[in-house]
């Protein structure tokens, strides 16, 4: 999808706006897991999630493409929308963001703070996405998809950082929303000719990518009822699925309780706040810790954006329930 030179140029764009995020090994976490655990802290970006990288590179490419754009529109459950709102403002373009009803209140507020016009529509992400496409046509707005080669190239800069900083990773676990995060890892691993196994993670209540991976083709689900909204996908991206099928070892499913438990572990062992999707990779690692002795294992903490009420439920030993 891109060369190493193109990826390094994308990293220059990202690093012109934000520094590389850290990757740390935490002793308590490694003791708990029974292996050497490295955390890639994408919760430390200016929007608290890895998605900003994709937005910055997307708008750089869009600006250089010569396309006349008066405004952009997209759909999101939160972190993609924060990326588009923040990056489009950086490039002087107004943004409209569609979210489903019942979306994270605090993510909505953050998107508006970055300058976006927010519209609530539909019962879930995919209904909001379809309406965003309709409004794009009606209002002559540029539609930013949730998965696109420019977004994937930008997101891939985190993979370049982690593989450059940590030698000889045996495996790395990464959550799957629409697929840009895991696609970035696969593409960079292949460019660098590394042997690291890449394992995707989805919520049991939002298993579309796991089902599609097993089938080798897109399989939609009727619901994606997980409190880990960054993984609440019913309709996989065909482009992302193709990359995942070619380059991922497998996909692990984790329960709502396992995700909540991993969020508590992040707090107790590292004092980092993780949202549901951000903790999913650790949940998968802990689920499989019996087979990881002596290995060097990475997990992607993809974001830390969760409403206070939901996090209060988690930190007090519970699991958030959807309405």
pLDDT of residue 323: 67
Task: Tell me which residue of 169, 165, 163, 233 sits closest to 201, measured CA to CA.
Answer: 233
Which tens digit of pLDDT belongs to each residue from 175-206?
A: 999 999 999 999 999 999 999 999 999 999 99
Q: Tell me the per-residue pLDDT of 107-149, one tens digit each, with 9 for 90 and over.
A: 999 999 999 999 999 998 889 999 999 999 999 999 999 889 9
Q: Examine residue 259 and state whether it is found in any structural domain, yes or no.
A: yes
Shared domain for 133 and 163, answered yes or no, is no
Q: Give the pTM.
A: 0.94
In CATH, what number is assigned to the domain containing residue 162? 3.40.50.1100
**pLDDT at residue number 223:** 84
Give pLDDT, residue 97: 97
Instruction: Pick the last residue of a domain from 120, 143, 166.
Output: 143
| Cβ pair 254, 209 in contact under 8 A | no
> Where is the domain boundary, 124, 143, 162?
143
Residue 14 has pLDDT above 70, yes or no: yes
- Residue 298 placed within a domain: yes
> Containing domain of residue 116, as a range?
52-143
321 belongs to a structural domain: no
């Amino acid at each position: 999808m891109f060369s190493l030179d193109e990826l390094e140029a994308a990293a220059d764009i990202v690093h012109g706006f934000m520094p590389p995020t850290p990757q740390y090994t935490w002793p308590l976490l490694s003791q708990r897991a029974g292996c050497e655990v490295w955390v890639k802290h994408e919760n430390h970006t200016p929007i608290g999630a890895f998605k900003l990288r994709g937005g910055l590179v997307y708008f750089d490419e869009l600006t250089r493409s010569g396309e006349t754009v008066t405004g952009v529109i997209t759909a999101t459950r939160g972190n993609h929308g924060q990326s588009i709102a923040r990056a489009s403002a950086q490039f002087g373009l107004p943004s409209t963001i569609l979210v489903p009803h019942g979306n994270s209140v605090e993510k909505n507020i953050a998107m508006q703070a970055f300058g976006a016009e927010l519209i609530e529509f539909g019962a879930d992400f995919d209904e909001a996405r379809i309406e965003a496409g309709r409004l794009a046509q009606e209002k002559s707005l540029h539609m930013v998809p949730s998965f696109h080669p420019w977004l994937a190239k930008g997101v891939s800069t985190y993979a370049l950082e982690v593989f450059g900083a940590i030698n000889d990773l045996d495996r790395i676990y990464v959550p799957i929303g629409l697929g840009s995060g895991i696609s970035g890892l696969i593409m960079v691993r292949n460019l660098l000719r590394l042997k690291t196994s890449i394992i995707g993670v989805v919520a049991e209540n939002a298993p579309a990518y796991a089902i599609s991976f097993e089938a080798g083709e897109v399989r939609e689900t009727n619901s994606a009822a997980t409190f880990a909204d960054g993984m609440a996908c019913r309709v996989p991206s065909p482009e992302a699925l193709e990359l995942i099928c070619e380059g991922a070892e497998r996909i692990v499913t984790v329960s709502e309780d396992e995700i909540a438990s991993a969020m508590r572990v992040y707090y107790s062992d590292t004092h980092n706040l993780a949202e549901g999707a951000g903790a999913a990779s650790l949940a998968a690692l802990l689920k499989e810790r019996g087979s990881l002795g002596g290995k060097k294992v990475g997990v992607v903490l993809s974001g830390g954006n969760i409403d206070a009420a939901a996090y209060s439920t988690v930190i007090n030993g519970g699991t958030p329930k959807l309405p």
